[in-house]
Structure 1
Amino acid sequence: MTTQHETLPDRLGSTPTGIAPGIHVPLIRLLAEGEPVTIAELAAASAQLQDAVREALEAAGDAEYDEEGSIIGLGLTLRPTPHRFTVAGEQLYTWCALDTLIFPALIGKAATVESTSPTSGTTIRVRVAADGTAASVHPSTAVVSLVEPDAPGSVRSSFCNQVHYFASHADAQPWIDAHPGGEIVDVATAHRTGATMASALLDAAAIPAPAAQDSSCAPDRAPATAPTRTAPHSCC
C-alpha cells in the first residue's frame, strides 16, 4: 500500500508552498539570517523584477509580513510556532515538523530543533546536519505525523498544521484517532521524504546546494552560495 511519505514528494512537487522554487529557495536562505526580507532584497537574490516577486507571493497566499511589508515567513518564519529551529545562532521557527528536515539542506547549515508534541506537551529535540540528516533524536522513539495535502488551498492549513513531532507512537495515538487517514513515521523515514523534497526544490530552482556547514563553527558571514543582501534593483 502506498503511504503519505512515499507520495508527498510527487503531491507537493517542487512548489510545496505554491511559489516558484527560484524565489522560494533564495527567500529561505535570506530568512535564515534572522531578519525580515524586503521585496527588493528578494528580487535581487532571485534575479527577478520586484513586481514578479510580489505577484508570486500573492499567488502563494500564505506568506507572512511585518508592519513594514517585509516578508517574515513562508515555511521558515520569524514568528513563533511549536517548531523552534535554531541555525547559526538565529532562533527561527518552521510551519511544520517536516520543514525542519528540509531547510538545513537548502541553506547548507546544521540546525537544532525543539518541537512540542501537541498531545502530551513533551519537547522533542532533533539535531539536523547540514545535509538534512537527523544526527540525533531525543527521545529516540520520536515520530512524525504526515497527511495527504488537500488541493487546491492553503498548504499551511491543509498540510503543515497537521505535521507534528510526537514523543512516541503511543503519544501520537490520539492524533491518529482524530486523523484516520494520516500516517505516523519515524524520524529517519521523515528525513528521507524531506531529502527528496529538498533535492527537488534545488533542482527546480537551478540553484546549487550550498556548501554544508556545521552551524556550531560557521563563519559570521553567509556562505558564498547563499544570496547576500544587496541594494535593490533600479527597476521593478
Structure 2
Amino acid sequence: MTEDFTELTDRLASPDTGLEAALWVPLLRLLSRGDPVDIVDLAAATGRTVPEVRAALGAVPDTEYDGEGHIIGQGLTLRPTQHRFEVDGEQLYTWCALDTLIFPALLGASARVESACHATGVPVRLSVGAGGVTGVQPATAVLSLINPEDMSSIRSAFCNQVHFFASAEAAQPWLDAAPGGSVVPIADAFRLGTAMAGALLHETPPAQRALQGKGVRGCVC
C-alpha cells in the first residue's frame, strides 16, 4: 500500500470524520438487518445512554433518519443509492463505492455489489468476501478516490466523489475535473477498504471484535 493510501486510510478511520468506531460498527450491524434502527436499541447495543448516542450521532451531520426519528443510514443505508449492496439476502445500499469494499469486513459477511459506471452507466458488478473481490465485471473496472482537506461532512466531502468506473479511460473526464483525485483498480481499493476496516475494528471493544471474527452479523450484544 502506498504512502498516499496509508494516509487516506488513517484519515478515514480518524475522528476527523465524526465516525466513532465503537458506535458506528454496531450501527452498521443493526442496519444490515434491513430495518430502521431505534436510537434506544443502538444505546442498548453500545452500553451508552440515549443522550450520549444522540450527541455522537450529531457529530455525523449526514446521518439519515426516517420520519419517526429512526436511523436509516450512515454509510450503509436503507435509502436507495446508485450502489446496491446485498448481504445475507437483504438489499441495502451504500453512500459510496469504497463502502461496498469496507463493510463486508465490518459485518463479517460476504456481499454482492452492483453499481454503475459514473461516466457511462455501464453496470459494474462484483462479490466481496473475506478472501477478496471476485467476479468483477467489467474486469477493467476502477474506483475513484479523493483526499479532501475537510472530512467533517464525510458524505459530501468524500463519498460523493468515490465512484465505480468501467475503465480508467472512462474515468479520465472525472480525473480532469478533480485535482488531486486518483483512480485505482478494484483489487487495490479492496486493500484500502480492508485496512480501514481493520483500523476501525481495532478501536471497537474486544467483545465486538470477537463476534466479528466469528462472522456473527448483526449481533452487537
Per the TM superposition, whether the score is higher than 0.5 is yes
**Structure-2 change in CA distance of 1:152 and 1:169 (3 Å):** closer
Mapped partners of 1:92, 1:42: distance in 2: 19
Q: Greater helix percent: which structure?
A: 2
Aligned equivalent of 1:231: none
Instruction: Kindly indicate whether residue 197 of structure 2 is the aligned counterpart of residue 204 of structure 1.
Output: no
2:17/2:151 contact within 8 Å kept: no
Q: How much has 1:120 moved relative to structure 2?
A: 0.3
Pairwise CA RMSD of aligned residues?
1.8
Mapped partners of 2:184, 2:71: distance in 1: 32
**Structure-2 change in CA distance of 1:61 and 1:150 (3 Å):** same
**Correspondence 1:13-24 to 2 at 5 A:** 13-15=13-15, 17-24=17-24
Give 3-state SS (helix, strand or coil) of 1:208's partner: helix
**Structure-2 change in CA distance of 1:146 and 1:99 (3 Å):** same
Mapped partners of 2:51, 2:131: distance in 1: 33
Task: Tell me the alpha carbon deviations over residues 188-213 of structure 1, each in whole angstroms, 9 at most, x when there is no partner.
Answer: 10011101100011111123152465
**Structure-2 change in CA distance of 1:90 and 1:132 (3 Å):** farther
Normalised to the residue count of structure 1, the TM-score between the two structures is 0.86
Mapped partners of 1:32, 1:20: distance in 2: 18
Mapped partners of 2:119, 2:77: distance in 1: 23
2:33/2:218 contact within 8 Å kept: no
Task: Tell me the alpha carbon deviations over residues 114-167 of structure 1, each in whole angstroms, 9 at most, x when there is no partner.
Answer: 0111210011001001x2721221111100000012315311111000000111
**Correspondence 1:129-208 to 2 at 5 A:** 129=129, 131=130, 133-206=132-205, 207-208=208-209
Give 3-state SS (helix, strand or coil) of 1:128's partner: strand
Instruction: Kindly indicate whether residue 208 of structure 2 is the aligned counterpart of residue 226 of structure 1.
Output: no
Give 3-state SS (helix, strand or coil) of 2:209's partner: coil
Instruction: Kindly indicate whether residue 28 of structure 2 is the aligned counterpart of residue 35 of structure 1.
Output: no
Percent identity (aligned): 53
Aligned equivalent of 1:219: none
Q: Write the letter of the residue equivalent to 1:62.
A: D
Give ranges in structure 1 of 5+ residues lacking alignment. 214-222, 229-236
Mapped partners of 1:181, 1:29: distance in 2: 33
Q: Write the letter of the residue equivalent to 1:227.
A: V
**Structure-2 change in CA distance of 1:16 and 1:189 (3 Å):** farther
Q: How much has 1:17 moved relative to structure 2?
A: 4.1
Normalised to the residue count of structure 2, the TM-score between the two structures is 0.92
How many residues are matched? 217
**Correspondence 1:121-136 to 2 at 5 A:** 121-129=121-129, 131=130, 133-136=132-135
Task: Tell me the alpha carbon deviations over residues 49-87 of structure 1, each in whole angstroms, 9 at most, x when there is no partner.
Answer: 111000000122111000010000000000111110001
